[in-house]
Structures are given as C-alpha cells and as structure tokens.
Structure 1
Amino acid sequence: MITIAGRAYDKVIQSNVCQGETNYEQALNMFLPLIDEFDSQRKIQNKKFYERLKRDIIDGCLMPPITIALVSKEHSRENAEGLEEYINAEIGHGYILDGLQRINTLRAASEELGFDRTRPLPLSVIISPSEDQLVYRMITLNNGQRPMTARHQIEILTGSIFEQRQYKNISIKTEKDTEGKRYKNAMPLANVAKAYISHMTQATTNENRKIIEEKMDEILVGRILDRGFSSEMNDFEHVVELIDRLCSAPEVFNWFKVENNIIAFAAAVQSSFDSISAASPEEFGQAVTLFERAFDGFNVSKLNVGRLRRQLALEFIARYEKLSQFSESELLEHFSEMTAA
C-alpha cells in the first residue's frame, strides 16, 4: 500500500508528481518485480559499493526516496482525481525511474538479521502520458553536465559551512578573498576542505596524481563508506573549534597553516581528542615545537617531505598523550624506527 500525501503538476512533461510513502516490506513486494521493466535504466552496479547502505539500513537509517513512474494519459491530467487508488492498483505496471540500486540493496538487507520491514520508505510517483516524457525528464535531470565528484561536493560543503563562521583566532578565507587584502590569521579554505576529507576518511593519502581522478574518487568514496558514520565520532565542526582555540598561540597557528599538518591533525585527532582538548594553547605549542625539532633531524633531501610530514604528524597527533612527553631525541628515535622499514 502506497500512501499519497501530496502532489504537484509538471507542466513541461504534462505529468502529475505525487509524494508519499510505503514501508520496506511493501516496497520489496511491489518494486522487485519492476527492476527489469524500464529499458532506459542502468544495470545493477557492483554490490560492494552499496554494502555500506545495506549495513545502514539494518542499523535503522531512513533510505533516500525512490521515484516510481506510471504511464496513463487519463491520470496524468492536471485535474485528475483518485490518484492514490490508481497508483496502488497499477503499481505492478510501473517503472523504477530512480532508485534501482537502492531497491536491490534493500533486498540484500532484508536477508540479514535485524532488518526492520516496517521502516518507512519515502517515494515520488510520476504519472506521465507516455514513456517519452519520462525519458526526457531523466535526460534533463541527469545529463548535460559532468557529475560532481565526492571531493568537489565536500569542498563546496566546506565552503558553505565554514566560510561564514566567526572564530576567535582564525578566519577561513578563499584564495579569492585574500587577493589584494590582508586578514589577520587567515586560514586557506582549500586546506580546511582537505582536512575535512582527511577527517572523514581518517587517512592522509586522499590525493595521488598517479591515479586518474575518477579512480581516486572511487577510492575516496570507498574510504568514507568503510569508515561509516558514528555518533561517537567528533563532528568536524568540533575539530575546527579545537583548532581555533589552540591557535591563540602564534606558533600553533603557524603550524596549522602548513597544509600537511592540518590534514594529518584532522585525520588523527579522533584518537586523542580528549587529551589535546585538555591541553592549553601554550602546551600544545610546546608539543608542536617538539615535533618540528624532531622532524628537522631528517635529511629531507633524500625524502618526500610532504609525505613524511603527514606520516609523522599523523603518528604524533594520534599518540599525542604519550609522544608529547618525549624528549627531542626520544621522539626522533621513535620516528626513525617508524620510517626505517
């Protein structure tokens, strides 16, 4: 049974667009037989890619809406009545316009222990006078532009969230913002965006020019999905607030302005958030000064400096409570043993 809560009329494709919901049990019964009905749909993708969504469904997530399409000249009219009754009577002749992969993932989840068949599934139902209008809508919505990569989406989101925020000791600015202007304690937005990605993946190796962008984006998405979402993990906003507080010490601000440092910090801080939060800006300043002195002990002419800095900063921040108490020689020896292999 599909319940319809509202509708609107699409004047371009002369179709009724209804908003409603069903539940997982009914969705499986109604929509699995429709999977092969629409010739314009994509083939089923690699199940591994949707493994995270399957686990989230079992854990109780609300699956994103799917779109079902029906063809009827009579019920596609703007003033058509009885749409809920028509939809429930004719759903067996419909098409999955958007959500094919999600329905297959829902089927996989239904075979696991803990699957809740009563969870609601939001959906849209398009009633169109012909399949041509449906194909047209699919083309206008999904083509004509290059899809944004996950990295680009995160960068845009970072700008939307943090560029307008007011902090005490840092100001997050784009490169364009700083052209011909001087800002006190300006932190490049590009660096913050990269730190956001490292926080989401808990990794510092999210860029590799040797790998084509499309494949690198797949790796990035895979890392984010593998890490999943945990309510116990600090939001990136909390990480930025911690950075802002620590940056009241000038040496700390200068340390975070180095791209590789803030990337490594964001990737590792979850492991030591409480101990670093308990440190004063001056204490953390002494710690990063210790890190820099130990780092200076390496012969950088024979090393990839950026990669080495990320690796060692990641280790230092992840084990901050212990390593910040080392002497310079002890820390250098520890780093030397790490990189000897």
Structure 2
Amino acid sequence: MDFFTFDEDRVVEGYVAGGVTTYRFALDHLAPLIGRLNIQRDTLKTKFYSRLEKDIVRGCVMPPITVALIHDFEEGAAAVAVNDHIRAHIDEGFVLDGIQRLNTLARASQSAGFDDARPLHVNFVIARSRDRLLYRMITLNNGQRPMSARHQIEVLADSFFDFDSVDLKLVAEKGKSRVRAPDSFKKSDFIKGYIAYLSETVNVDNQKIIEEKLDELIASRIIESDIPTRRIEFSDIVNLINRMSASEYLSEWIRVQNNFIGFCVGAKQSIPALQEAQYAEMEGAIQSFEQAFASINVSKVNLGKVRRELVSKFIEHFDTLKSVDEFELLDKISDWI
C-alpha cells in the first residue's frame, strides 16, 4: 500500500489518507472486511455489474474504495504514524463505500486474463470515535441513495460495539417473532436507542411519518447535533446501562424499549449525576417517576410516545428531580405533557 495524500479532519478529530494498492491486496485484505458487517445492503444481482466485471478483466481502473478505521491519535499525528497504523490494522477496517465493487472484483478474479497486479485506489477515513465516524458518513451521504441515515447507523452499530467487556446481552429477532430473553436487549431496540442518542429525539420510528421523510428528519437532526464538539460518547451511556444491570429492578426497567430510548436521549445531559448516583438512589427516583407516570390518563395520550418523552425529560433533569416525591414529580410531568 503506497500513500500519496494525507489530511487532518478537524471536525471528527481524525485523518483522511489516500493510497493505491493492487487488486491482489484488495482481494486478500479488503474484500474480507465486507463480512464484518452483519447488517448491510444485499449484494446486487450479477447482471447489474457484469459490465464492470468484464472491464476489470480488460484493464479498467475502478473508482476508489473507502475504508474506515477508528483510532484516537494524539493531536498533530504525523502522516507516517497514521499510514503505519493503517497498514498494521487494515483487517480491523469497515468498507464504507465499494461493497459492490469489491464483490465484482472477486468475481472478475475468477476469469481468464485477470491481472491481480492492476492498481486499486483506496481512501481511508480514521476517526477518533464511532460517533464521529457516523457523523461524517451522514453529512457526506445524506440525500443520496440507496443507503439511508438509519441504515448507515444500523450497519455500523452492528459491527462497532464490542460487548465483551460489559454484561449487556444483545439478541437478534428471528423473522418477525419476538425473542424471549428476559435478561437481554433486543438488538433492534438497542440500535433505536443509538439512533435516538445521535439525533437527540425519541421520534425514531414514528409510523405517522413517511419512512423516507423520517430518514431525512433523523439525518438532519444528527447533522445539527453537537457530536463533533461534545466529550460524551455513546459508550459512556452503554457503560452506565451496564452498571445499572447490577440492580434487578433497574435492569428490568431499562430493557423496556420506550424507557431505553428515552434514557439514551436524556442521559446525554446528565451523565455525571447518573454516574455518581447509588443504586438505591436511582431505584428510588425511578420508582417515584413510575408512580407519577401511573397517574396519567392513558385514554388521553399516546402512551408509548409520552413514556419516551417523559423518561427523556426525567433523566435529563435527574440531578434536580431524583429526590422529589410522587406528587411534585406529577406536577412537573403535567407541564411536560
């Protein structure tokens, strides 16, 4: 891999490097990265890329592939250090752009006359954190097709989060049935919480809005958010939820989808207070909230929507509301509805 461009991205606190390699290197090291994404666009039918497949064998130069890596370099990192990191950790990357081209390249490599020494240009995006990389992707791709902002988040969230160091258990849904795992999070719920966190809104699956417009709304909210400047990462919230799992009551409460989504949005503003709270203090606060919430006239509201919004508000102001009683909290809730 030879590098010929290097620039600093001051927004995502990362770097962008451009290089050139060979088809053989791409087949050995880049094509296998596609398998790291469990949720991704399906490989298009061969006929759509049959012309490119033939052109590869004939000697065309494909448009650059884009690969992402996550690493927190010190400010002012030298190009040689970034380039060396890419070479050493290429197998940990994610293909952001070029999945179909790499699949086509793999098919072309089986054809007579294929030259694996031909050049392939590659762009590398190295971001300091997962949140910043997602922000960069969405600002670059919003409004384009075929991958929506929500799909981009689903793709990366499914691959980014390594839960080996935490006690959270994620299970995927099989078909349309719900998986019965009382001590686990559904992966789809977790991703909704992540989208809510990024977009700072609990309205991440509003059935009253056309899906395409909802995607645009979520993307616009993410672009307008403070992701590049804030110091809190979603991993901080994951660690907090992991800590809550030690309490049976809190663990059961946070696994309710609407509670989880509201919590992910509200916790961004109150991480220090939540981290300092003892189990008994947090349990008591949540119990008071639930007692106040039980007084809502369910026939007058959309209960799921209201629960998300109120949990978000309560968690956002946890430091000032953690000690109030049921009726004082009910008065506050009545102002929020």
Q: How many residues align?
A: 230
| TM-score w.r.t. length of structure 2 | 0.58
Distance 1:237 1:60 in 2: 17
1:265-276 aligned within 5 A = 265-276=263-274
Q: Tell me how far apart the structure 2 counterparts of residues 319 and 157 of structure 1 sit (CA, whole Å).
A: 30
How far is 1:159 from its partner?
A: 2.2
In 2: Cα distance, 1:257 partner to 1:61 partner: 34
1:185 — aligned with what?
Answer: 183
1:104 — aligned with what? none
Q: What whole-Å deviation, never above 9, does each CA across 1:177-220 have from its counterpart, x for those lacking one?
A: 9x898656211111111111111112212222233222221221
Question: Which letter does structure 1 place at the counterpart of 2:309?
Answer: Q
1:151, 1:194 → 2: CA distance? 9
CA displacement at 1:299 relative to structure 2: 0.5
* Structure 1 partner of 2:306: 308
Q: Deviations along 1:200-259, whole A, 9 cap, x unmatched? A: 112212222233222221221111111143454321111111111112111111111111
Cα distance in 2, alignment partners of residues 335 and 180 from structure 1 = 32
Write the deviation string for residues 144-182 of structure 1: whole angstroms up to 9, x where unpaired. Answer: 9x72222122123222233653523x31221249x8986
Tell me which residue corresponds to 1:21.
5
- What is the CA–CA distance in structure 2 between the aligned matches of 1:265 and 1:325, rounded to whole Å? 18
**Aligned mate of 2:260, from 245, 259, 262:** 262
Structure 2 unaligned regions, length at least 5: 21-62, 66-78, 83-97, 105-144
How far 1:312 moved relative to its partner?
0.9
Of 288-297 and 204-213, more deviation after overlay is shown by 204-213
> 1:247 and 2:231 equivalent?
no
Q: Determine the C-alpha separation between the residues in 2 that align with 1:182 and 1:321.
A: 34
User: Matches of 1:155 and 1:58 in 2, distance apart?
Assistant: 22
Partner of 1:127: none
Q: Deviations over 1:297-328 (max 9, x none)?
A: 10011210011111111110000011111110
State the 1:65 CA deviation.
Answer: 5.3
Cα distance in 1 between the residues matched to 2:17 and 2:306: 41
Asked whether the equivalents of residues 247 and 281 of structure 1 are also in contact (C-alpha less than 8 Å), the reply is: no
Structure 1 residues 305 and 64 mapped into 2: Cα distance closer, same or farther (>3 Å)? farther
State whether residues 150 and 195 of structure 2, in contact with CA within 8 Å, keep that contact through their aligned partners in structure 1. yes
Q: How far apart, in 1, do the equivalents of 2:11 and 2:166 lie? A: 39
The change in CA–CA distance for 1:183 and 1:297 in structure 2 (over 3 A counts) is closer
Q: Are the structure 2 counterparts of residues 229 and 148 from structure 1 closer, same or farther at C-alpha, using a change threshold of 3 Å?
A: same
**Residue pairs, 1:1-341, within 5 angstroms:** 6=2, 20-21=4-5, 62=15, 141=101, 147-162=146-161, 164-168=163-167, 170-176=168-174, 183=181, 185-230=183-228, 232-339=230-337
Deviation at 1:265, TM superposition (A): 0.8
**Structure 2: which amino acid aligns with 1:158?**
A
Question: How large is the Cα RMSD of the aligned pairs?
Answer: 3.9
Q: How far apart, in 1, do the equivalents of 2:317 and 2:174 lie?
A: 37
* Partner AA of 1:241 in structure 2: N
Note the C-alpha offset of 1:23.
6.9
Higher CA-based Rg: 1
